[in-house]
Amino acid sequence: MKTAKPFTMRTWSTPLTIGSFILMSVTGVLMFFDIVPGYVSFAHEWFSWAFVIGAGAHIAVNFRPFTKHLRSNWGRVNVAIFSVIVVVSMYSFGRITAPQLKWPISNALIDAPLSALADITRTDHAELLDKLQAHGITATAEQNIKELALQNQVDEFHVLGLVFIAE
């Protein structure tokens, strides 16, 4: 009769690293090509923590081979190159990037009255209010997404999606 192997850090760290690497790679490539349906970005951002935990534990379990790699020229150069890339990526060098715009634009849209959102989406004001009503959200043209989300106990991006995403 076989006895169960003990559940050690080695038992879970490598499979977690492999699985989360697959997820990070696939979602990262999809995001690179602006293919972001459903929860692709969410999965990439949040499950990166699984990758960090798995890789950290994997390094801890394999610390001696890890340090041996770092003693080689290629190991040190590799760490140096990627460390420089991390530092450089923190700066935009005067360029405005799409991720930098995400929250300011989202906040402006969430705070804007529905009448302005109707104008932005080139939708008749009454038609927009009817569209929201069809989803159980009663609104006036003066209200904004933030107010409607609180009033209806739904996420702001859900209401914003009803305004911007065609059915």
Domain finish residue from 42, 64, 91: 91
pLDDT of residue 5: 80
Residue 143 lies in a domain: yes
Q: Are residues 14 and 76 in the same domain?
A: yes
**30 lies in which domain range?**
9-91
pLDDT of residue 40: 95
Element of type H or E holding 112: none
Q: Which amino acid is at 34?
A: D
Q: DSSP letter string over 2-23?
A: PPPPP--HHHHHHHHHHHHHHH
pTM: 0.70
Q: Are residues 108 and 86 in the same domain?
A: no
Domain finish residue from 59, 75, 91: 91
Q: Are residues 28 and 51 in the same domain?
A: yes
CA nearest to 121, candidates 54, 156, 167: 167
Q: What's 72's DSSP letter? A: S
pLDDT of residue 2: 76
- Walk along the chain (167 residues) in steps of 10 and give the mean pLDDT of each run: 82 94 97 92 96 96 94 95 95 84 93 96 94 94 95 94 86
Q: Are residues 14 and 85 in the same domain?
A: yes
Q: Are residues 23 and 50 in the same domain?
A: yes
